[in-house]
Amino acid sequence: MTAPLPPQVRVFVRDWLSSNNILLKSAAGHVLIDTGYVRHAPLMLALLASRQGLDGDTLARVVNTHCHSDHMGGNAAVARAYGCPIAVPEGEAPLIRRWDTKALWIDYAGQTAERFDVDDVIVPGATYVWGNLQWRALAAPGHDMGAVVFYNPEHRILISGDALWENGYGLVMPREVDPAALPATRATLDMLAKLDVAVVIPGHGEPFTDVAAALERAFSRTAAFEADEMRMVRHALKVLLTFTLLDRQRMPLDELPAFVEQVPIFRDFNARYLQLAPVALAQRLVDELERAGAARRDAGMLVPASGR
Ligand SMILES: [Zn+2]
Protein backbone atom coordinates (compact mmCIF):
# COMPACT_ATOMS: atom_id res chain seq x y z
CA MET A 1 0.00 0.00 0.00
CA THR A 2 1.44 3.33 -1.02
CA ALA A 3 1.99 5.69 1.84
CA PRO A 4 -0.09 8.88 1.57
CA LEU A 5 2.44 11.67 2.03
CA PRO A 6 1.93 15.36 1.20
CA PRO A 7 3.93 16.40 -1.89
CA GLN A 8 6.39 18.57 0.03
CA VAL A 9 7.55 15.50 1.98
CA ARG A 10 10.19 13.72 -0.12
CA VAL A 11 11.65 10.45 1.10
CA PHE A 12 14.85 9.09 -0.40
CA VAL A 13 14.76 5.47 0.67
CA ARG A 14 18.33 4.27 1.14
CA ASP A 15 19.64 1.03 2.61
CA TRP A 16 21.03 -0.46 5.82
CA LEU A 17 24.37 1.34 5.59
CA SER A 18 22.77 4.75 5.00
CA SER A 19 19.58 5.91 6.66
CA ASN A 20 16.73 7.33 4.63
CA ASN A 21 17.00 11.04 3.79
CA ILE A 22 13.80 13.02 4.26
CA LEU A 23 13.43 16.39 2.57
CA LEU A 24 10.71 18.77 3.80
CA LYS A 25 10.21 21.46 1.18
CA SER A 26 8.76 24.92 1.63
CA ALA A 27 9.32 28.49 0.50
CA ALA A 28 10.45 29.25 4.05
CA GLY A 29 13.52 27.05 3.52
CA HIS A 30 13.99 23.35 2.78
CA VAL A 31 14.95 21.05 5.64
CA LEU A 32 16.76 17.71 5.39
CA ILE A 33 16.33 15.05 8.07
CA ASP A 34 19.26 12.59 8.33
CA THR A 35 22.13 12.40 5.88
CA GLY A 36 23.24 8.74 5.71
CA TYR A 37 26.65 7.14 6.11
CA VAL A 38 29.82 9.04 5.22
CA ARG A 39 30.86 6.63 2.45
CA HIS A 40 27.55 7.32 0.67
CA ALA A 41 27.79 11.13 0.99
CA PRO A 42 28.38 11.73 -2.76
CA LEU A 43 25.27 9.69 -3.65
CA MET A 44 23.24 11.47 -0.95
CA LEU A 45 24.33 14.89 -2.30
CA ALA A 46 23.32 13.82 -5.82
CA LEU A 47 19.88 12.66 -4.64
CA LEU A 48 19.46 15.85 -2.65
CA ALA A 49 20.29 18.07 -5.65
CA SER A 50 18.09 16.07 -8.06
CA ARG A 51 14.77 17.18 -9.55
CA GLN A 52 12.96 15.16 -6.88
CA GLY A 53 15.09 16.95 -4.31
CA LEU A 54 16.18 20.57 -4.16
CA ASP A 55 16.02 20.97 -7.94
CA GLY A 56 18.33 23.99 -7.96
CA ASP A 57 17.26 25.46 -4.63
CA THR A 58 19.44 25.73 -1.58
CA LEU A 59 19.03 23.94 1.74
CA ALA A 60 18.12 25.83 4.92
CA ARG A 61 18.88 23.25 7.60
CA VAL A 62 19.99 19.73 8.45
CA VAL A 63 18.28 17.92 11.31
CA ASN A 64 19.10 14.52 12.79
CA THR A 65 16.77 12.05 14.49
CA HIS A 66 19.84 10.78 16.33
CA CYS A 67 23.57 10.82 15.86
CA HIS A 68 24.63 7.34 14.78
CA SER A 69 27.07 7.19 11.87
CA ASP A 70 24.45 5.99 9.38
CA HIS A 71 22.24 9.04 10.11
CA MET A 72 24.74 11.88 10.51
CA GLY A 73 27.66 10.66 8.37
CA GLY A 74 26.80 13.06 5.56
CA ASN A 75 26.18 16.12 7.78
CA ALA A 76 29.62 17.66 7.19
CA ALA A 77 29.34 17.18 3.41
CA VAL A 78 25.89 18.82 3.30
CA ALA A 79 26.98 21.73 5.47
CA ARG A 80 29.96 22.26 3.14
CA ALA A 81 27.81 22.10 0.02
CA TYR A 82 25.02 24.40 1.23
CA GLY A 83 26.54 26.38 4.11
CA CYS A 84 23.51 25.51 6.23
CA PRO A 85 23.24 24.98 10.00
CA ILE A 86 22.95 21.55 11.59
CA ALA A 87 20.53 20.77 14.42
CA VAL A 88 20.84 17.61 16.53
CA PRO A 89 18.70 16.39 19.44
CA GLU A 90 19.54 18.15 22.69
CA GLY A 91 20.78 14.94 24.30
CA GLU A 92 23.18 14.24 21.43
CA ALA A 93 24.73 17.71 21.22
CA PRO A 94 27.36 17.22 23.98
CA LEU A 95 28.48 13.92 22.41
CA ILE A 96 28.92 15.57 19.02
CA ARG A 97 30.62 18.64 20.45
CA ARG A 98 33.24 16.54 22.19
CA TRP A 99 33.14 13.94 19.38
CA ASP A 100 32.66 11.06 21.80
CA THR A 101 33.43 8.21 19.43
CA LYS A 102 32.55 5.60 22.04
CA ALA A 103 29.10 6.92 22.98
CA LEU A 104 28.39 7.65 19.31
CA TRP A 105 29.37 4.05 18.35
CA ILE A 106 31.91 5.30 15.81
CA ASP A 107 35.39 3.80 16.16
CA TYR A 108 34.07 1.92 19.18
CA ALA A 109 31.97 -0.08 16.71
CA GLY A 110 34.45 -0.08 13.81
CA GLN A 111 32.54 2.65 11.95
CA THR A 112 33.56 6.01 10.53
CA ALA A 113 31.96 9.45 10.31
CA GLU A 114 33.09 12.95 9.41
CA ARG A 115 33.13 15.37 12.33
CA PHE A 116 30.77 18.34 12.10
CA ASP A 117 29.71 21.33 14.18
CA VAL A 118 26.40 21.56 16.01
CA ASP A 119 24.67 24.89 15.38
CA ASP A 120 21.36 24.20 17.05
CA VAL A 121 19.58 21.69 19.23
CA ILE A 122 16.23 19.97 18.84
CA VAL A 123 14.32 20.08 22.11
CA PRO A 124 11.91 17.22 22.91
CA GLY A 125 8.42 18.63 23.38
CA ALA A 126 9.02 21.58 21.06
CA THR A 127 7.20 22.02 17.75
CA TYR A 128 9.03 22.91 14.56
CA VAL A 129 7.58 24.09 11.25
CA TRP A 130 9.34 22.43 8.34
CA GLY A 131 7.86 21.93 4.90
CA ASN A 132 4.83 24.04 5.94
CA LEU A 133 3.96 21.31 8.44
CA GLN A 134 4.11 21.27 12.22
CA TRP A 135 6.40 18.62 13.66
CA ARG A 136 6.40 17.82 17.34
CA ALA A 137 9.78 16.51 18.52
CA LEU A 138 9.28 13.62 20.95
CA ALA A 139 12.01 12.01 23.01
CA ALA A 140 12.43 8.41 21.84
CA PRO A 141 15.20 6.84 23.93
CA GLY A 142 16.14 3.17 23.66
CA HIS A 143 18.25 2.29 20.61
CA ASP A 144 19.82 5.69 21.15
CA MET A 145 19.20 7.37 24.49
CA GLY A 146 19.18 10.88 22.98
CA ALA A 147 17.04 10.10 19.93
CA VAL A 148 13.93 12.00 18.92
CA VAL A 149 11.08 11.24 16.52
CA PHE A 150 8.98 13.83 14.71
CA TYR A 151 5.19 13.70 14.64
CA ASN A 152 2.85 15.68 12.42
CA PRO A 153 -0.71 15.43 13.85
CA GLU A 154 -2.40 16.98 10.80
CA HIS A 155 -1.38 14.23 8.36
CA ARG A 156 -0.63 11.73 11.14
CA ILE A 157 2.95 11.22 9.93
CA LEU A 158 5.65 9.83 12.20
CA ILE A 159 9.32 10.22 11.28
CA SER A 160 10.61 7.46 13.52
CA GLY A 161 14.37 7.23 12.96
CA ASP A 162 15.56 3.90 14.38
CA ALA A 163 12.96 3.81 17.17
CA LEU A 164 10.47 1.91 14.99
CA TRP A 165 10.90 0.16 11.67
CA GLU A 166 8.37 -1.91 9.76
CA ASN A 167 10.16 -4.94 11.18
CA GLY A 168 11.85 -4.14 14.47
CA TYR A 169 14.10 -1.26 15.48
CA GLY A 170 17.77 -0.40 15.87
CA LEU A 171 19.93 -2.53 18.15
CA VAL A 172 19.62 -1.93 21.87
CA MET A 173 22.42 -2.20 24.41
CA PRO A 174 22.12 -5.14 26.82
CA ARG A 175 21.26 -4.51 30.46
CA GLU A 176 24.77 -4.85 31.87
CA VAL A 177 26.06 -2.24 29.43
CA ASP A 178 23.18 0.23 29.80
CA PRO A 179 20.48 -0.74 32.31
CA ALA A 180 18.21 2.07 31.04
CA ALA A 181 18.20 1.10 27.36
CA LEU A 182 15.69 -1.75 27.20
CA PRO A 183 13.16 -0.22 29.64
CA ALA A 184 13.41 3.01 27.62
CA THR A 185 12.81 1.04 24.42
CA ARG A 186 9.56 -0.34 25.85
CA ALA A 187 8.49 3.07 27.19
CA THR A 188 9.15 4.65 23.77
CA LEU A 189 7.05 1.98 22.05
CA ASP A 190 4.26 2.62 24.60
CA MET A 191 4.48 6.33 23.80
CA LEU A 192 4.39 5.70 20.03
CA ALA A 193 1.44 3.33 20.40
CA LYS A 194 -0.61 6.18 21.88
CA LEU A 195 -0.06 8.45 18.87
CA ASP A 196 -2.58 8.48 16.05
CA VAL A 197 -0.30 7.55 13.14
CA ALA A 198 -1.35 6.91 9.53
CA VAL A 199 2.11 6.55 8.03
CA VAL A 200 5.58 5.98 9.43
CA ILE A 201 8.69 7.21 7.64
CA PRO A 202 11.33 5.00 9.27
CA GLY A 203 15.08 5.51 9.37
CA HIS A 204 15.52 2.46 7.15
CA GLY A 205 13.09 0.83 4.71
CA GLU A 206 10.05 2.13 2.83
CA PRO A 207 7.41 4.28 4.53
CA PHE A 208 4.62 2.03 5.83
CA THR A 209 1.02 2.32 6.94
CA ASP A 210 0.35 -0.84 8.96
CA VAL A 211 1.57 0.79 12.13
CA ALA A 212 -0.28 -1.57 14.48
CA ALA A 213 1.46 -4.61 13.01
CA ALA A 214 4.87 -2.92 13.20
CA LEU A 215 4.27 -2.04 16.85
CA GLU A 216 3.19 -5.59 17.61
CA ARG A 217 6.43 -6.94 16.10
CA ALA A 218 8.45 -4.35 18.02
CA PHE A 219 6.74 -5.23 21.31
CA SER A 220 7.29 -8.93 20.80
CA ARG A 221 10.97 -8.37 20.00
CA THR A 222 11.21 -6.32 23.19
CA ALA A 223 9.59 -9.09 25.22
CA ALA A 224 12.08 -11.60 23.75
CA PHE A 225 14.97 -9.31 24.69
CA GLU A 226 13.57 -8.84 28.19
CA ALA A 227 13.41 -12.60 28.61
CA ASP A 228 16.91 -13.31 27.32
CA GLU A 229 19.74 -10.81 27.55
CA MET A 230 22.09 -13.05 25.56
CA ARG A 231 19.73 -12.71 22.65
CA MET A 232 20.37 -8.95 22.71
CA VAL A 233 24.12 -9.54 22.77
CA ARG A 234 24.03 -11.89 19.78
CA HIS A 235 21.66 -9.58 17.91
CA ALA A 236 23.83 -6.50 18.52
CA LEU A 237 27.04 -8.19 17.34
CA LYS A 238 25.28 -9.63 14.29
CA VAL A 239 23.89 -6.22 13.33
CA LEU A 240 27.25 -4.50 13.85
CA LEU A 241 29.19 -7.04 11.80
CA THR A 242 26.60 -6.84 9.02
CA PHE A 243 26.99 -3.06 9.03
CA THR A 244 30.79 -3.26 8.75
CA LEU A 245 30.42 -5.79 5.97
CA LEU A 246 28.13 -3.44 4.04
CA ASP A 247 30.65 -0.66 4.62
CA ARG A 248 33.68 -2.66 3.47
CA GLN A 249 31.80 -4.87 0.98
CA ARG A 250 34.11 -7.82 1.66
CA MET A 251 36.12 -9.00 4.63
CA PRO A 252 38.78 -11.73 4.47
CA LEU A 253 37.54 -14.59 6.68
CA ASP A 254 41.00 -15.12 8.13
CA GLU A 255 41.10 -11.49 9.31
CA LEU A 256 37.82 -11.71 11.22
CA PRO A 257 39.37 -13.03 14.46
CA ALA A 258 41.66 -9.98 14.55
CA PHE A 259 38.66 -7.75 13.77
CA VAL A 260 36.59 -9.06 16.69
CA GLU A 261 39.63 -8.80 18.93
CA GLN A 262 40.45 -5.20 17.93
CA VAL A 263 37.10 -3.47 17.52
CA PRO A 264 36.23 -2.44 21.08
CA ILE A 265 32.53 -3.29 21.15
CA PHE A 266 33.19 -6.87 19.97
CA ARG A 267 36.07 -7.20 22.42
CA ASP A 268 34.01 -5.79 25.32
CA PHE A 269 30.90 -7.86 24.62
CA ASN A 270 33.02 -10.98 24.23
CA ALA A 271 34.85 -10.37 27.50
CA ARG A 272 31.64 -9.60 29.36
CA TYR A 273 29.22 -12.16 27.96
CA LEU A 274 30.74 -14.79 25.73
CA GLN A 275 34.37 -15.42 26.72
CA LEU A 276 35.16 -17.06 23.40
CA ALA A 277 38.51 -17.25 21.66
CA PRO A 278 38.50 -14.63 18.84
CA VAL A 279 38.57 -17.44 16.26
CA ALA A 280 35.51 -19.05 17.83
CA LEU A 281 33.63 -15.75 18.08
CA ALA A 282 34.38 -14.91 14.44
CA GLN A 283 33.26 -18.39 13.40
CA ARG A 284 30.04 -18.11 15.38
CA LEU A 285 29.19 -14.71 13.93
CA VAL A 286 29.85 -15.85 10.37
CA ASP A 287 27.60 -18.88 10.94
CA GLU A 288 24.85 -16.66 12.36
CA LEU A 289 25.08 -14.16 9.51
CA GLU A 290 24.88 -16.96 6.98
CA ARG A 291 21.92 -18.54 8.75
CA ALA A 292 20.16 -15.17 8.84
CA GLY A 293 20.76 -14.74 5.11
CA ALA A 294 22.78 -11.55 5.67
CA ALA A 295 26.14 -12.78 4.37
CA ARG A 296 27.84 -15.63 2.57
CA ARG A 297 31.34 -17.03 2.21
CA ASP A 298 32.98 -16.54 -1.16
CA ALA A 299 36.57 -17.58 -1.94
CA GLY A 300 37.95 -16.86 1.51
CA MET A 301 35.87 -13.71 1.88
CA LEU A 302 32.75 -12.83 3.80
CA VAL A 303 30.47 -10.84 1.50
CA PRO A 304 26.97 -9.37 1.95
CA ALA A 305 24.28 -11.74 0.70
CA SER A 306 22.85 -10.44 -2.56
CA GLY A 307 19.38 -8.99 -2.50
CA ARG A 308 19.65 -7.62 0.97
ZN1 LIG B 1 20.76 4.32 14.94
Cα 237 to middle of ligand 1, angstroms: 14
Return the SS3 of 236: helix
pLDDT tens per residue across span 9-18: 999 999 989 9
**pTM for this predicted structure:** 0.96
Residue 201 alpha carbon to ligand 1 centre in Å = 14
Decide: helix, strand or coil at residue 227: helix
Residue 35 near residue 41, CB atoms below 8 Å = yes
Q: How many angstroms separate the alpha carbon of residue 66 from the centre of ligand 1?
A: 7
Closest CA to 44 of 29, 59, 28: 59
Instruction: Name which of 124, 304, 55 is nearest 46 in CA terms.
Output: 55
Task: Give me ligand 1 centre to Cα 171, in Å.
Answer: 8
> Residue 291: is it exposed, middle or buried by C-beta count within 10 angstroms (0-12/13-18/19+)?
exposed
- The model's pLDDT over 44-76, given as tens digits with 9 standing for 90+, comes to 999 999 999 999 999 999 999 999 999 999 999
Ligand 1 centroid from CA 142, angstroms = 10
At residue 273, the 3 state secondary structure works out as helix
pLDDT > 70: percent of the chain: 98
Give the residue among 101, 104, 229 at the shortest CA–CA distance from 176. Answer: 229
Expressed in angstroms and rounded, the spacing between residue 148 Cα and the centre of ligand 1 is 11
Number of H helices, E strands in the chain: 10, 14
Q: Ligand 1: distance of its center to the CA of 300 in Å?
A: 30
**CA 110 / ligand 1 centre spacing (Å):** 14
pLDDT digits 0-9 by tens, 227-264: 999 999 999 999 999 999 999 999 999 999 999 999 99
CA of residue 217 to ligand 1 center, whole Å: 18
- 169-201 pLDDT, tens digit each: 999 999 999 999 999 999 999 999 999 999 999
| Cα torsion through 232, 182, 221, 256, rounded to 10 | -20
Split at pLDDT 50, 70, 90, the class of 308 is very low
Cα(84) to ligand 1 centroid in Å equals 23
